[in-house]
Chains A and B, each alone.
Chain A
């Protein structure tokens, strides 16, 4: 019997396809339309943090170096008020197989897929995650299919995404290069149904638990060298997994006082599914186009319940401009003698802005870097932007207009970032919950879940509901 492969028919089969491809029965954890037993779902992955670290060592993941950025810290101190200018540390995640922290995220999924006898893995992503899944699949002897949004309708590909597609093929994956659109998810479902491969979704408990070692390593490394916990860990935020996993790892290591600061590149005004806007942004992830919607409604993903729940762990959220990140990426090369990809330097940019406001004896950790090279280099991005009609100039980064103008700061003191209101995000989350399930039907258990999901207590939630 030939199945109906129309868009509507495949989307209607979503739940059964997901269940077969993940081996997780989410119904076991769901307690209401807006709440579920998050911790039990995470625990049921069945791995201890030490087991995760051991599995990751088998496939060249983890134990990455933590560098003190001495020259950059010095430069920040020169522009800071007296007594300010925290020490900036950098976790060099580019050292993982496949060149980014995403290897952590893919590693447990690949292990799990192998253990359960799947012949291969599928992931839909235009990011570093594709290369990570392909690389981990290669090491586990699994077949791999990556579905990637690459081209606009003119067949023009963002150089960074083109490079990431190349890398996936280099690891032996079959790469589907698609034009712009949310139908990537439809293609994922079709491919899963056709191949019966494992769904290496970014948002499963396996994906998130794999990142926890990043948090525990940071705590261990900072303590060994500085005899204290990090004061702040800055995390680039898009879908929420990086933040969730790292924060959980820090908590697991007992670093309870460490502040978790999210940051994203501000791309306000650009539509993520627009054929025109697609090639007018220089960042394909780590931006507000993902960061804000995923924070305010995590369950908008390709699995029934998202294991990446950023507001549950986030203390602050800083936005930076594309121009600020390009400036800091260049400065990292010139001052610290290492070239890393611009998207991974989003959190470094926020850390520079933040370090100026913090006492000198404090420690700010930038928890990732990513590889760089042809296509995935800030020069390639800026050159491409110019070719697409974007104005590129030096000046005040506050003049950045996503999709129109990239203003690279003249000086380091112009790198300030911009604070995103946390309460606004939390309220927006509650509004989305109210859309999914009417407030009058919320039980005490629902309220307790929602409050925890935005890192607040029920009293805060009750007060917030009065303003909603």
Chain B
């Protein structure tokens, strides 16, 4: 597996609580899953995806986890057209 160079903007993930360690009051479907955190930062030493990695965050803190994503980006959008909205408040309206 190729190594990601130090200095790359990456996202790491870390299991904070395993399923057996979760808060006593969580619903059953949630209790079955681990409690996971992701955070982005600059990779401090070369690492491969899925391997332990250490990053420096935007505020300069150093955090450890598993290398999850290289150059994470935001792809959220306005979604697909929702035809049900189009004619609301218009002069025309659906034929």
Contact = CB atoms under 8 A, between A and B. Distances in A.
Interface of A: 6-7, 120, 143-145, 150-151, 153, 157, 159, 162-163, 166, 169, 172-183, 186-187, 195, 271, 273-276, 326-327, 330-331, 333-335, 374-375, 377-384, 386, 392-394, 408
A4 to B, nearest CB: 13
Contact of B40 (A143, A151, A157, A169): A169
A383 B37 contact: no
B26 interface: yes
A166 B23 contact: no
B23 A181 contact: yes
B22 A181 contact: yes
Contacts of B22: 7, 181, 183
A393 B79 contact: no
A375 B76 CA distance: 5
Nearest to B15: A179
A271 B27 contact: yes
A68 B32 CA distance: 50
B88 A173 contact: no
B29 A178 contact: no
Contacts of B32: 275
Given A145-B59, A179-B35, A330-B88, A379 B82 contact: yes
A381 B80 CA distance: 10
Contacts of A179: 33-37
Given A7-B17, A180-B30, A394-B84, 6 more contacts: A173-B58, A173-B59, A178-B37, A182-B25, A187-B16, A327-B88
Nearest to A333: B89
B90 A334 contact: yes
A181 B15 CA distance: 13
Interface residues of B, number: 38
| Interface SS of B by simple majority | loop
A120 B59 CA distance: 9
Nearest to A395: B84
Contacts of A181: 22-23, 26, 30, 35
A384 B27 CA distance: 24
Contacts of A331: 88-89
A381 B41 CA distance: 29
Nearest to A145: B59
A183 B35 contact: yes
A128 to B, nearest CB: 16
Interface of B: 16-17, 21-23, 25-27, 29-30, 32-41, 57-61, 74, 76-82, 84-85, 88-90
B29 A274 contact: yes
Given A382-B84, A393-B84, A274 B78 contact: no
Nearest to A327: B88
Contacts of B59: 120, 143-145, 172-174
B26 A273 contact: yes
Contacts of A271: 27
A375 B74 CA distance: 10
A176 B37 contact: yes
28 contacts: A6-B21, A143-B59, A143-B60, A145-B59, A159-B77, A162-B74, A169-B58, A173-B59, A178-B35, A178-B36, A179-B37, A182-B23, A183-B35, A186-B23, A274-B27, A276-B29, A330-B85, A331-B89, A334-B89, A334-B90, A375-B77, A379-B78, A379-B81, A380-B79, A382-B84, A386-B80, A392-B82, A394-B84
Q: Which 3 A-B pairs have the closest CB atoms?
A: A383-B79, A334-B89, A375-B76
A150 B76 CA distance: 13
A394 B23 CA distance: 40
B82 A275 contact: no
A168 to B, nearest CB: 10
B30 A275 contact: yes
A379 B58 contact: no
Nearest to B41: A174
Contacts of B30: 153, 180-181, 273-275
Given A187-B37, A330-B88, A379-B79, A178 B58 contact: no
Residue in A157, A181, A380 with the greatest tally of chain B CB atoms within 10 Å: A181
A392 B84 contact: yes
A275 B29 contact: yes
A182 B30 CA distance: 10
A295 B40 CA distance: 36
B92 to A, nearest CB: 11
A7 B17 CA distance: 8
Contacts of B40: 169, 175
Contacts of A176: 37-39
Contact of A177 (B21, B34, B37, B88): B37
